[in-house]
Each structure stands twice: as structure tokens, then as C-alpha cells.
Amino acid sequence: MKIAEDLFDDIAVIRLSGKVIGGPELVEVKEAFQSQVNHDRRNVLLDLGGVTWMDSSGLGVIVSGHTTISRAGGTMKILNATKKIHELFIITKLITVFETYTDEKEALESFQA
């Protein structure tokens, strides 16, 4: 698993890639979310386009990030969930909680609205 970050004006894009499979790496993802709050960034776009494998542990850490950011008055949205990952959001009904996008430009603009 890899984590990369981009900043577009006041929107932080966190890009996960590889296998999100559990253990210490999930703590890293959690910290990436917490770090946005610490830097007073409220608009977070989580790019899952490069994630090749993820299970409920990955969902758990995304949900907890969403909660952290919401509590700080911010919003987290999801970009490019692959078909398999989208299926996990549907099975767990988390799809009702997250705004999901397949186009980065559109996703970034949605924060401005």
C-alpha cells in the first residue's frame, strides 16, 4: 500500500494505491486523515483508483476518517472506487453515506458548490 497527497487550493486529495490489507498500514491511513484536520483542511477527496485490494478493514478506516473530518466541520468524498470496492460500499450500505465520483475534476468542483 502507498499513500500520496495532493493539495488543490483548499482541497486535500489523498491517493491510496496497492493492497489495503490490514495491520500497521491502516494506522498510516488513519493518520493521513487526522493530519488533514490538524492542518485545518476540511475538504478531503479520497482517491481509491489505485487500490487493487481492500476489505472491511479498509472500509473501517475510511469510515473513521469520515467521522474525524465531519466532526471537524469538513467533508470527505470518494473518487474512483473500482467495481470491486464499489461493491463493498453497496453491500455495507456505506454508499448511502459517501458521495462518490469517477471524474476528478467534477469531484474537485463539487467542493466549491
- Name the residues that contact another protein, by CB under 8 A: 19, 21-24, 53-57, 59-61, 63-64, 66-67, 84, 87-88, 91-94, 96-97
The smaller minimum CB distance to another protein, of residues 7 and 91, is found at: 91
* For another protein, the closer CB: 51 or 108: 51
> In one letter, which amino acid is 48?
L
Shortest distance, CB of residue 94 to another protein, whole angstroms? Answer: 7
For residue 62, give the amino acid letter.
I
Grid cell digits, residue 33 = 486523515
Residue placing its CB nearer to another protein in the complex, 52 or 106: 52
Nearest-approach distance from CB 88 to another protein, in angstroms = 6
Residue 23 C-beta: closest distance to another protein, Å: 3
Count H helices and E strands in the chain, helices first: 4, 5
41-73 b/e (C-beta count within 10 Å ≥ 16 → b):
bbbbbbbbeebeebeeebbebbbebbebbeeee
Coil/strand/helix, residue 60? helix
CB of 113: closest distance to another protein in angstroms? 24
**Minimum CB distance to another protein smaller for 79 or for 85:** 85
